[in-house]
Structure formats: structure tokens, C-alpha cells
Amino acid sequence: MDEDVSGKCSLRREQSWERKKRFLEHLSVSGNISEAGRVAEVRRSTLYLWKDTDKEFSARWEEALEEAVDALEAEARRRAVEGYDEPITYAGRVVCDPDTGNPIVRKRYSDGLMAFLLRAHRPSRFRAGMESEGRSGTISINISSDDSAL
């Protein structure tokens, strides 16, 4: 009978670790605790109990969140620097090239994301409140496809 009980405990630990692993994998992609818990089929209260009682799981949780934030930062940088294609619309409809039938797009950049990234990575130069130090708070960014314009 003792072997039966220890076998059940071992199986339960293995299932718990599989759920923890599934949660951590999804958390590193989504950055959303509730969503990752749903994917792993684990209640939030159980997740936080594991986090409070399992140091390794807690450390991996924090690492997974950092990975999710790194992915967000990479996407923000891509949108700010490389830009993104936005379909041109007219009267609520996407305008298409009459020869190819493909949507006509224009390249858009996010100056707001650019400013945010600069403040995050160079706070001494781009933080808010610089006006009181005699500096302008305006950030001017000129993006050109022509390298000679730089």
C-alpha cells in the first residue's frame, strides 16, 4: 500500500512539473500570467502557491517574464526603426494597385516608441523634466531611406 501512495505522489509531482513547464513556456511568449495559467490548466492561486514555495519555479517565472518583455522591446524597436507597412485606405476601403491587385501600402514609423526606447536606455539624456536643467525636452528624429542624408 505504501508503494501505491508513493507512486501516486510521484505521478502527481511529474504532472505538476509538466504543468509548470507548460505555464513557463507560454508565459515567456505571452507575458500574461492568467493566459499562461489557462494554457497550462492551472488556477492562478495554485500558480502563486508554487511561486511562493518553489524557489526554482519562482526564478524561472521571473526569467520567463523577462523573455516576454525582451520580445516586446524588440518589436517596439523594429516598429520604431524599420517601420511597418500600413495599407492606404480611401472611404473605408483598402486601395489596391490596379495592375497587381495588391494593397498599396506606405511605410510608417513610431516616433512615440522611438522616444520611449531612448528614455528607457538613455535616461540621463532623454528623461522627462530636462527643461528645468536648461535642456529642451523635444526629441527630433529624421528617418530617411537615403544613407547620404545622414
Arithmetic mean of pLDDT, 4-13: 57
What percentage of the chain exceeds 70 in pLDDT?
A: 75
Where b means 16+ CB within 10 Å and e means fewer, 22-49 reads: bbbebbbeebebeebbebbebeeeebee
The predicted-structure confidence for 80-92, as pLDDT tens digits, reads as follows 999 999 999 999 9
| Set of cell numbers at residue 85 | 507597412
The predicted-structure confidence for 117-150, as pLDDT tens digits, reads as follows 999 888 988 886 655 455 556 666 666 666 555 4
Reported confidence tier of residue 6, pLDDT bands at 50, 70, 90: low
Arithmetic mean of pLDDT, 20-25: 97
Arithmetic mean of pLDDT, 9-35: 87
Q: Domain spans of the chain?
A: 8-72, 83-126
Residue 84 has what pLDDT? 93
**Angle at CA 131, nearest 5°, toward 127 and 136?**
80
> What are the helix (H) ranges across the chain?
2-30, 33-40, 44-53, 55-81, 111-121, 123-126
**Against a cut of 0.85, is the pTM above it?**
no
Q: Give the span between the Cα atoms of 61 and 24, in whole angstroms.
A: 6
Judged by DSSP in three states, 115 sits in helix
